[in-house]
Amino acid sequence: PSSPHPAMTPSQAASAWAAAGLAAFPFLFFVSAPYGKLARDGWGAPIDGRLGWFLQELPSPLALVTSLMVNHRADDPSSSCGAGGWTRDDGAPSMALVAAALWCAHYANRAVRYPLTRRMSHTTLPVVLSAVAFNVVNGTVCGSELARRGCEAFGARNLPGLALMLLGVVVNVTADEHLRAIRGKKDGGGGEGRRRRDGKSGDSHATPAGGLFDRCVCPHYLGELIEWCGFAAMTQLASSFAFAFWTFANLFPRATAYREWYRERFGTGVVRRAMAAW
């Protein structure tokens, strides 16, 4: 007979997930995922960049919502949930509902609006599959722990984290749009820039300048890190802090690789920080 207790609690799963991020962090300084400016041969069959981006980002909200619904217990006798299990008896929205809505809004932008508003170089099947695996695990781990807070009202204690998250959103989206505008002027139409068949960059790239790009190479990465740190502060979940660390572990090595990429093509005068603006 199966055990009535799960093999791993949500907090244990979050700890294991954070440990995996810690193990991956140094490795990612030596091996960068081959997409965008760092695209290169030898990584499997090419896939249209827009389609690949959509397919790899979509599983995250699906996994979170599925895990949240499966693990949520509105019928718990000790629950203070109102009708439907996503508000308190007084009608206040639950912290889990607000967090899930913010998560889905982020990925609606990343999975749909982002690829539709720019041209993207090809990606590869292994990159897409690895991103799908990450997003499924991450969404499931975060959703299962968030479900345990399904009847906790969103209140004043959550507001500082929400404010930090929204600041990150502004930095991320503003930098993304600034970068798209720069590429559009250089490329004559807006987009990622032309690529040769070998997947390497053509001549349409330029060193980004203006705004936070004058202070660091990848302010859009900085914005995403701030966003998920804010989400972690808002939810106070071990899994959210693990995700924030994973964001840093993934994006900081990539930002460092991008700085080297610019230095190789435009000279050592590119002395800005990789991701930290201050």
Residue 33 has φ and ψ, to the nearest 5°, of -60, 130
Given a contact cutoff of 8 angstroms between Cβ atoms, the answer to whether 244 and 229 are in contact is: yes
Q: If you search the block for the tokens 């440990």, which residue do you land on?
A: 19
**What share of the chain in percent tops pLDDT 70?**
80
Q: Which residues of 203-237 are buried (b: 16+ CB within 10 A; e: fewer)?
A: eebeebeeebbeebbbbbbbbbbbbbbbbbbbbeb
pTM of the predicted protein model: 0.85
For 179-183, 188-192, 214-218, which range has the lowest pLDDT when averaged over its residues?
A: 188-192
* For the ranges 78-92, 113-127, 211-225, 239-253, the one whose mean pLDDT is highest: 239-253
More confidently predicted of 142 and 270: 142
The amino acid sitting at 232 is A
Task: Give residue-wise pLDDT tens across range 6-59.
Answer: 578 888 999 999 999 999 999 999 888 777 777 777 778 888 999 999 999 999
pLDDT number for residue 86: 61
**What share of the chain in percent tops pLDDT 90?**
47
Closest CA to 277 of 234, 236, 218: 218
pLDDT number for residue 191: 40
Structure tokens at 124: 């590869």
pLDDT number for residue 20: 96
Structure tokens at 3: 């055990």
Q: If you search the block for the tokens 């206040």, which residue do you land on?
A: 92
Banded model confidence at residue 249, pLDDT cuts 50, 70, 90: very high
Question: Can you tell me the distance from the alpha carbon of 180 to that of 184, in angstroms, rounded to the nearest whole number?
Answer: 6
β-partners of residue 87 are 93
pLDDT number for residue 222: 94
Q: Span 99-112, mean pLDDT? A: 95
Banded model confidence at residue 90, pLDDT cuts 50, 70, 90: low
Torsion, CA 134, CA 96, CA 66, CA 6, rounded to 10? 80
